């Protein structure tokens, strides 16, 4: 039987008082940096996660699930129409909240990891019964500690290649398949021969998979493209999409006949930039996105995209956590791949709203 480490164990291991351990987690700035690091190192070694409240200490249950997400706020988004500009992360949050209510749980969200991921993750994990986290958002060593005490579900991206995280449940979508099918559609049905892919790779396993799908489709069609994105962006926002479109329009040589973006937000920004330059979509250039956020169908021309089941991903993450917590599922780690669908709209020259599963 595994013995759960306590604050007393951390205090003894790090050679400080229980009060000091408490201050490290409650008011870390009040503790000297060297002492704070010693306490946190001891906590990691022991697998200690601070309890969120007295109820949690007594019952080992808080009635709360946690979700850890980076802040994807887009400064270029239209703040007067929040529902239309609902982002990828918002849709997953909606799915988790919906399922959490159904199971009688509340949802605690950590919307940004800036300013010290260790402190923030520890605070969230100590206040919840189960934890969902976007792939590559939390350092591996942090997840190792948390998963000793809480069920953890990884969202998006491929299953991590580290043995230490193989025991975690995992949910992803068919990113590579979706981008491959969308790109094949552009090449075969619209005669595209100079597609330009825009996205970030190293920081996003999902986008990495999408780019592989793009390359596969181009290779199969005999269309030569570079082995890296035409433009790499720092953040996948509307502002970055507009900047990438401008850069590609101003480069020497022929302009791309298709701007293939790694997400819808960037594609929306590009639509506005191309319109500003007097270029018509899709007559002068095709524009596509990925995700299927509500904004994609509201812009003009409506955006051709790959719709992924973001709400369902959040719902399934919650269901998995609840099954683990209730003991209804104690088997091997679950790995689920959710299907996507290509939505053909006016930005590629198709009739509005045609969907290819």
Secondary structure, 3-state, the chain: CCCCCCHHHHHHHHCCCHHHHHHHHHCHHHCCHHHHHHHHHHHHHHCCCCCCCHHHHHHCCCCEEEEECCCCCCCCCCCCCCCCCCCHHHHHHHHHHHHHHHHCCEEEEECCCCCCHHHHHHHHHCCCCEEEEECCCCCHHHHHHHHCCCCEEEECCCCCCCHHHCCCEEEEECHHHHHHHHHHHHHHHHCCCCEEEEECCCCCHHHHHHHHHHHHHHHHCCCCCCCCCCEECCCCCHHHHHHHHHHHHHCCCCCCCEEEECCHHHHHHHHHHHHHCCCCCCCCCEEECCECCCHHHHCCCCCEEEECCHHHHHHHHHHHHHHHHHCCCCCCCCEEEECCEEEECHHHCCCCCEEEC
Mind listing the pLDDT tens digit of every residue in the chain (357 residues)?
Answer: 456 787 878 888 998 887 788 778 777 778 888 998 999 899 888 888 775 543 344 345 788 998 887 655 545 544 433 444 456 778 888 899 999 989 999 988 876 555 444 556 667 777 889 989 887 777 777 778 788 888 999 998 776 555 556 788 999 999 999 999 999 999 999 999 999 999 986 778 899 999 999 999 999 999 999 999 999 998 889 999 999 999 999 999 999 999 999 999 999 999 999 999 999 999 999 999 999 998 899 999 999 999 999 999 999 999 999 999 988 888 889 999 999 999 999 999 997 655 554
* 161 and 296 together in one domain: no
State the residue range of the domain holding 144.
Answer: 60-173+311-338
pLDDT at 355: 59
Q: Answer yes or no: do 325 and 296 share one domain.
A: no
Tens digits of per-residue pLDDT, 306-353?
A: 999 999 999 999 999 999 998 888 888 999 999 999 999 999 999 765
pLDDT number for residue 57:
40
pLDDT of residue 230: 97
- Helices 18-26 and 7-14, axial angle in degrees (round to 10): 110
pTM score: 0.77
CATH number of the domain bearing residue 269: 3.40.50.2300
Rounded to whole angstroms, how far apart are CA atoms 78 and 346? 22
pLDDT at 80: 39
The answer as to whether 84 is a domain residue is: yes
Distances (CA, A) of 135 to 86, 91, 190, 224, 256: 21, 16, 35, 31, 32
Which CATH number characterizes residue 39's domain? 1.10.260.40
Same domain, yes or no: 35 and 67:
no
Tell whether 165 and 294 lie within a shared domain: no
- What pLDDT score was predicted for residue 145? 79
Query: 194 and 118 in one domain?
Result: no
Does any domain span residue 142?
A: yes
**pLDDT tens-place string over residues 262-314:** 999 999 999 999 999 999 999 999 999 999 998 899 999 999 999 999 999 99
Q: How far apart are CA 127 and CA 273, in angstroms?
A: 44
202 and 253 part of one domain:
yes
CB 203 within 8 A of CB 182: no
Number of domains in the chain: 3
What is the pLDDT at residue 258? 98
Peptide linkage before 282 cis (omega within 30 of 0): yes
**Is residue 54 situated within a structural domain?**
no
């Amino acid at each position: 039987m595994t013995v759960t480490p306590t604050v007393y164990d951390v205090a003894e291991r790090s050679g400080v008082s229980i009060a000091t351990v408490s201050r490290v987690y409650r008011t870390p700035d009040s503790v000297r940096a060297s002492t704070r690091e010693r306490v946190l190192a001891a906590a990691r070694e022991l697998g200690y996660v601070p309890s969120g409240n007295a109820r949690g200490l007594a019952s080992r249950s808080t009635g709360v699930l946690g979700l850890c997400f980076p802040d994807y706020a887009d400064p270029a988004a239209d703040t007067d129409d929040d529902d239309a500009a609902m982002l990828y992360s918002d849709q997953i949050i909606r799915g988790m909240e919906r399922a959490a209510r159904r199971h009688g749980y509340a949802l605690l969200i950590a919307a940004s990891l800036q300013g010290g991921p260790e402190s923030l993750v520890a605070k969230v994990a100590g206040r919840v019964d189960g934890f969902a986290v976007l792939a590559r958002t939390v350092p591996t060593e942090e997840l190792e500690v948390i998963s000793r005490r809480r069920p953890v579900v990884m969202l998006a991206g491929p299953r991590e290649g580290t043995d230490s995280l193989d025991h975690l449940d995992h949910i992803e979508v068919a990113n590579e398949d979706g981008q491959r099918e969308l790109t094949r559609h552009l090449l075969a049905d619209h005669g595209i021969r100079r597609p330009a892919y825009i996205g970030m790779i190293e920081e996003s396993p999902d986008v990495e998979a999408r780019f592989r799908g793009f390359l596969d489709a181009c290779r199969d069609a005999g269309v030569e493209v570079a082995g890296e994105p035409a433009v790499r962006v720092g953040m996948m926002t509307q502002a970055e999409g507009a900047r990438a479109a401008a850069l590609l329009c101003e480069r020497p040589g022929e302009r791309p006949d298709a701007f293939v973006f790694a997400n819808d937000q960037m594609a929306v920004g590009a639509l506005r930039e191309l319109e500003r330059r007097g270029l018509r979509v899709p007559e002068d250039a095709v524009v596509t996105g990925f995700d299927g956020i509500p904004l994609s169908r509201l812009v003009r021309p409506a955006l051709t995209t790959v719709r992924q089941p973001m709400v369902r991903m959040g719902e399934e993450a919650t269901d998995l956590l609840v099954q683990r917590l209730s003991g209804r599922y104690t088997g091997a780690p679950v790995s689920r791949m959710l299907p996507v669908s290509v939505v053909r709209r006016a930005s590629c020259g198709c009739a509005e709203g045609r969907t290819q599963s």
